[in-house]
């Protein structure tokens, strides 16, 4: 019997209503029923679904609800924040979207990992026709330092001390764009302050594209009181568009470089105080004994407002610092957007990646609130069992910490 020919236009999927509980305030968000149809037609339970331009995270959210495994990614920090918020809140009252259709009866998102793969800078540099070995001197030039004639990735700079106002000599270290800057590499450079070029360098400025996990604690362990001689700053990703505009062999005081320097800001690395771990006692569940430990966040110090925020462009540095103090509160934690714990970081073989076993977030839009600053975890102790903490602030800055869990 003749019927309607198969159409390539799906006109029966409605847009998400303005007041729908499914809406997550992301411009390109797609309806979950739309992705449900696609995934059911093209995959089976436990298949792996990938979306490398995730936007608001609809594909991954639907894959989770349909019992598919998933990988999703995006270059935009706003996208990652929205998607992460969506996964954590999935299944809560008022979260909207499809109901869970998983055979195991789950009604919440399984633990997931948010990873910064760290090579975005390298790819952008290659796209702009810069070789990695050329980047260090160019970054130094924009920072106002001269590359050292014999030490790779080290430069020299003369600048006024912000406290005394006196002119001081500094060493400037630039990290590699394709790997985190380690505390050991910085400590090695600090030891050159009193020996390189006859000594007399007062401070080391460490410019990193990214910093290793537990960088601050590692630096304190290696340097002790000399940690005060280190000023850690972040190389902004948007610097890459300016690197190719620097004339070959240009000095930091050339007019072209000075004009470019006005557009680039190297902000100080945020600082996260190690959390406090307190044993609360033993708990029995299903015939097993678990140790109960509370994890209380320490202070979070954001020293500067990141670049690219128009609202702060006309503020003086003093006004920005005053805003940060007021917005962050006495402990700085009002600026934290998300934090999560892994109570078995590395696993027994040390290879298990960070896997969130507890998390809390600030929320979005009208649901914004201050994060919970203390969590309780239950675990079976063993020698060397580690806990990991990851945190993201409202500007997209990352901070991390790892430590040993109490055994009793």
Q: What is the pLDDT of residue 113?
A: 75
Domain presence at residue 304: yes
Q: Work out the pLDDT band at 386, boundaries 50, 70, 90.
A: very high
pLDDT given for residue 119 in this prediction: 59
Q: Which one of 42, 75, 110 terminates a domain?
A: 110
**Which of 99-103, 211-215, 344-348 bottoms out in mean pLDDT, i.e. has the lowest?**
211-215
Residue range 295-311: mean pLDDT, rounded: 76
Residue 370 sits in the same domain as residue 279: yes
Kindly report the backbone phi and psi dihedral angles of residue 58, in degrees, each rounded to the nearest multiple of 5, phi listed first. Answer: -60, -45
Question: Is the pLDDT assigned to residue 394 strictly greater than 90?
Answer: no
Phi-psi region of 203 (alpha: psi -120 to 50; beta: other; left: phi over 0): beta
Three-state secondary structure call for residue 288: strand
Query: Is the confidence at residue 404, as pLDDT, over 90?
Result: yes
Least confident of 53-57, 104-108, 207-211, 362-366: 362-366
Range from 38-52, 248-262, 263-277 carrying the lowest mean pLDDT: 248-262
124 lies in the same domain as 257: yes
Average pLDDT over residues 13-35: 88
pLDDT given at position 121: 60
Last residue of one domain, picked from the residues 261, 279, 305: 261
226: number of CA atoms within 13 Å, CB side?
19
CATH number, domain with residue 69: 3.40.50.150
Q: Angle at Cα 353 formed by Cα 347 and Cα 356, nearest 5°?
A: 90
CA distances from 272 to 41, 122, 399 (A): 46, 27, 7
Whether residue 244 is found in the same domain as residue 214: yes
* Residue with tokens 């240009």, as numbered in its chain: 250
Residue 279 or residue 247, greater confidence: 279
pLDDT at residue 187 tops 90: yes
45 pLDDT tier (thresholds 50, 70, 90)? very high
281, 380: one domain: yes
Closest CA to 159 of 217, 231, 71: 231
Please tell me whether residues 199 and 240 are part of one structural domain.
yes
> In the structure, what pLDDT confidence band is assigned to residue 195 with cuts at 50, 70 and 90?
very high
Cα–Cα distance measured from residue 105 to residue 345, given in angstroms and rounded to the nearest whole number? 27
> CATH no. for residue 321?
2.60.40
Q: What is the mean pLDDT of residues 364-392?
A: 88
On whether the CB atoms of residues 272 and 401 are closer than 8 A, the answer is yes
The yes-or-no verdict on residue 183 having pLDDT over 90 is yes
Segment among 112-116, 149-153, 196-200, 321-325 with least mean pLDDT: 112-116
Q: Domain range for residue 381? A: 271-404
DSSP conformational letter for 373: -
**Three-state DSSP state, 61:** helix
Please check whether residue 216 is in contact with residue 230, taking contact to mean a CB–CB distance below 8 angstroms.
no
Phi first, then psi: give them for residue 117, nearest 5 degrees.
Answer: -70, -20
Are 255 and 326 contained in the same domain?
no
Q: Which of 320, 329, 213 is nearest to 268 (CA)?
A: 320
pLDDT of residue 35 exceeding 90: yes
Question: Which of the 8 DSSP states describes residue 246?
Answer: S
> What's the number of CA atoms in the CB half-sphere (13 Å) around residue 341?
25
Report the largest interatomic distance among the alpha carbons of the chain, rounded to a whole angstrom: 95
Question: What's the structural domain count of the chain?
Answer: 3
Judge whether 309 lies within some domain. Answer: yes
Query: 105 and 57, same structural domain?
Result: yes
pLDDT digits (tens, 9 = 90+) for 112-137: 777 766 556 666 666 666 655 678 88
Structural domain contains residue 59: yes
Tell me how far apart the alpha carbons of residues 307 and 87 are, in angstroms, rounded to a whole number.
28
Neighbouring CB atoms inside 10 A of 13's CB total 12
Report the CATH number at residue 162: 3.40.91
pLDDT higher than threshold 90 for residue 292? yes
Q: Are residues 132 and 250 in the same domain?
A: yes
Same domain? For 148 and 60 the reply is no
pLDDT above 70: percentage of residues in the chain: 90
pLDDT per residue over 67-91, tens digit each?
999 999 987 777 887 898 888 888 8
With cut-offs at 50, 70 and 90, classify the pLDDT of residue 307.
very low
**Residue 7: inside a domain:** no
User: Quick check: is 12 in a domain?
Assistant: no
Q: Can you tell me the mean pLDDT for 260-283? A: 87
Instruction: Identify the band that residue 26 occupies on the pLDDT scale cut at 50, 70 and 90.
Output: confident
SS3 13: coil
């Amino acid at each position: 019997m003749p019927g309607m020919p198969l159409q390539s236009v799906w006109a029966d999927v409605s847009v998400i209503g303005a007041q729908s509980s499914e809406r997550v305030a992301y411009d390109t968000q797609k309806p979950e029923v739309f992705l449900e149809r696609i995934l059911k037609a093209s995959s089976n339970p436990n298949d792996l679904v990938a979306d490398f331009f995730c936007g608001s995270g609809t594909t991954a959210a639907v894959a989770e609800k349909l019992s598919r495994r998933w990988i999703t990614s995006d270059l935009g920090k706003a996208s990652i924040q929205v998607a992460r918020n969506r996964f954590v809140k999935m299944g809560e009252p008022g979260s909207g979207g499809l109901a869970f259709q998983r055979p195991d009866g789950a009604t919440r998102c399984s633990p997931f990992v948010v990873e910064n793969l760290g090579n975005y800078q390298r790819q952008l540099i290659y796209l702009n026709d810069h070789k990695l070995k050329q980047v260090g001197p160019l970054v130094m030039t924009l920072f106002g330092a001269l590359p050292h004639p014999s030490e790779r990735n080290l430069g020299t700079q003369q600048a006024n001390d912000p406290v005394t106002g006196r002119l001081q000599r500094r060493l400037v270290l630039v990290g590699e764009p394709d790997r985190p800057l380690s505390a050991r590499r910085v400590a090695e450079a600090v030891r050159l302050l009193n020996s390189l070029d006859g000594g007399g360098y007062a401070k080391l400025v460490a410019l990193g594209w990214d910093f290793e996990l537990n960088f601050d604690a590692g630096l304190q362990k290696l340097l002790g009181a000399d940690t005060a001689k280190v000023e850690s700053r972040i190389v902004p990703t948007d610097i890459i568009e300016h690197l190719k505009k620097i004339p070959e062999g240009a000095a930091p005081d050339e007019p072209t470089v000075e004009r470019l320097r006005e557009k680039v800001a190297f902000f100080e690395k945020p600082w996260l105080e190690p959390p406090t771990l307190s044993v609360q006692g033993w708990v029995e569940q299903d015939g097993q004994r678990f140790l109960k430990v509370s994890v209380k966040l320490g202070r979070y110090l954001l020293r500067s407002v990141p670049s690219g925020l128009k609202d702060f462009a006309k503020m003086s540095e003093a006004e920005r610092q005053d805003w940060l103090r007021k917005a962050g509160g006495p402990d700085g934690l009002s600026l934290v957007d998300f934090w999560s714990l892994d109570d078995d970081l590395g696993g027994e073989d040390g290879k298990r990646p960070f896997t969130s076993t507890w998390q809390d977030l600030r929320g979005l839009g009208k649901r914004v609130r201050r994060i919970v600053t203390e969590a309780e975890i239950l675990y079976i102790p063993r020698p060397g069992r580690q806990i990991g903490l990851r945190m993201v602030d409202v500007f997209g800055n990352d901070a991390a910490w790892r430590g040993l869990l109490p055994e009793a």
